Amino acid sequence: MGPGWRRALPGLITVAVVVAVAVLAYNLNPDDTTPVANRVFRDAPVLVLAALCGLVGERTGIVNIGIEGQLLMSAFTGFYVAAATGNIWVGVLAGVASGAVLGLFLALCAVTWQIDQIIAGTVINIFVIGITSFLYTQGKRSPGGLDPIELPWLSDLPFAGPALFRSTPIAYLSIILVFVLHIALFHTRWGLRSRSVGEHPSAADTVGISVAGYRYLNTALAGGLAGLGGAFLSLESVGTFERNMTANRGFTALAIMIFGRWRPLLAWAGALFFALTSALASQLQFNQVIDVPPQFINILPFVLVLAVLAVFAGSVRPPAAAGQPYVKE
């Protein structure tokens, strides 16, 4: 096996185990697995889009702790713009735009002002919590979710079929974006240049690549991805906006990004794995298979993040220049 395969092995094993368990469980009781599958494919798009946001930023050398804030801001603008205009697509676009604006702001802080990137991201998070809580008004209604698109034949597949292939456009788009970004990062000029800026900015600069330009562009694009995730969260996944509704998804996404070794396909597997774990936990509790306080179920995804970081964080290598401001010599 080549090194690429070996690096991908933990992710592939995870996917294989998950699929095996899912198929087995489906044959035992579809009444249990269908809600689990539904929940997985309702939760995963937000996580994977947020993880892609972190990944694109870090591949270019910008650590983005502000994903949580980008998700929350775009969930907010997406929902209220959709409610005000009555058009859900306008809401989605507004969500993407607000995510991108916060991405540009992060680039402004990190590239132009050279503020510590982690502090800048934290500032974004705190700012968004403040402004969305202040502007929050109760009783607004969105014009409903987008219509699901059913793919014939595929939607009859067991377990994941009905949940995955009867998804809404943004959920499909999130999967398409995983593959697009994989190709873009590893097989296009943009990807090679972006990665060179994230690994060795002075070398990139020497051959005439604009480090600042790529960092601005990619952080904005990444913000747009988080924006899409946030809009999906409020408009599709939950159907309304609540204060602090992102509930640490942005930070979970960072763990997924690390787990996925800054590779889009592995990040997607990681997002599915996380979504599956929390869906299984709540289904187990719903069926009263386990009788524990709900708080114990609520903390499971976060315990999982800690466990994943404890196991993987030390053994993976982030882009070399992630977090470092680049000063031209």
Partner 1 sequence: MRLSARVESVILPIAAVLIALAIGAVLIALDGASPWTAYTALLDGSVGGPDSIARTLERATPLIFTGLAVIVGMKAGLFNIGAQGQLLTGAVFAAWVGYRFSLPAIVHVPLAIVVGGLCGLLPAALAGVLKAYRGAHEVITTIMLNAILVSLTEWIVGARGPFHDPDAGAISRTPLVRETADIPRIDVYPLGFFLGVLVAFAIWFLFGRTTTGFKLTTVGQNKFAAEYGGISAARITVLAMALSGFLAGVGGSIETLGVFGRFESGRNVGLGFDGITVALLARIHPLLAIPSALLLGVLRAGQTQMAFESKVAPEIIDVILAIILLLVCAPIVVRWILRLRKGTTGAESLQLTSGWGAS
Q: Which residues bind partner 1 (CB under 8 A)?
A: 63, 65, 109, 113-120, 122-123, 126-127, 129-131, 133-134, 136, 247-248, 251-252, 254-255, 258, 293, 295-296, 298-299, 302-303, 305-306, 309-311, 313-318, 322-325
Of 56 and 92, the one with the shorter C-beta distance to partner 1 is: 56
Of 34 and 248, the one with the shorter C-beta distance to partner 1 is: 248
Tell me how far, at minimum, the Cβ of 298 lies from partner 1, in Å: 5
Of 38 and 122, the one with the shorter C-beta distance to partner 1 is: 122
Q: Which residue is associated with the tokens 């090194």?
A: 3
Tell me how far, at minimum, the Cβ of 54 lies from partner 1, in Å: 10
> Helices marked H in the chain — which ranges?
3-28, 30-59, 67-85, 88-107, 117-135, 160-164, 169-187, 189-199, 201-206, 211-232, 249-259, 264-286, 294-298, 300-312
Tell me how far, at minimum, the Cβ of 72 lies from partner 1, in Å: 13
Q: Which residue is associated with the tokens 């700012």?
A: 127
The helix-helix angle for 3-28 and 30-59 (nearest 10°) equals: 160
| 148 touches 167 (CB < 8 A) | yes
Question: What distance in Å separates the CA atoms of residue 42 and residue 148, rounded to the nearest whole number?
Answer: 12
Of 93 and 211, the one with the shorter C-beta distance to partner 1 is: 211
Kindly report the number of other CB atoms within 10 A of residue 306's CB atom. Answer: 11
Tell me how far, at minimum, the Cβ of 55 lies from partner 1, in Å: 12
Q: What is the DSSP letter of 315?
A: G
Length of the chain as a residue count = 329
**What residue type is assigned to position 304 of the chain?**
L
Tell me how far, at minimum, the Cβ of 125 lies from partner 1, in Å: 8
CA-wise closest residue to 198 among 313, 323, 317? 323
Tell me how far, at minimum, the Cβ of 243 lies from partner 1, in Å: 9
**What residue type is assigned to position 295 of the chain?**
Q
CA-wise closest residue to 302 among 258, 254, 263, 248? 248
Q: Six-digit token pair at 146?
A: 């987008």
R_g (Cα) of the chain, nearest Å = 20
Of 206 and 288, the one with the shorter C-beta distance to partner 1 is: 288
Tell me how far, at minimum, the Cβ of 305 lies from partner 1, in Å: 5
Of 81 and 123, the one with the shorter C-beta distance to partner 1 is: 123
Of 46 and 235, the one with the shorter C-beta distance to partner 1 is: 46
CA-wise closest residue to 233 among 82, 114, 110, 125? 82
SS3 111: helix
Of 188 and 298, the one with the shorter C-beta distance to partner 1 is: 298
Of 65 and 81, the one with the shorter C-beta distance to partner 1 is: 65
Residue 246, phi then psi, degrees to nearest 5: -70, -25
SS3 319: coil
Tell me how far, at minimum, the Cβ of 74 lies from partner 1, in Å: 17
Tell me how far, at minimum, the Cβ of 271 lies from partner 1, in Å: 16
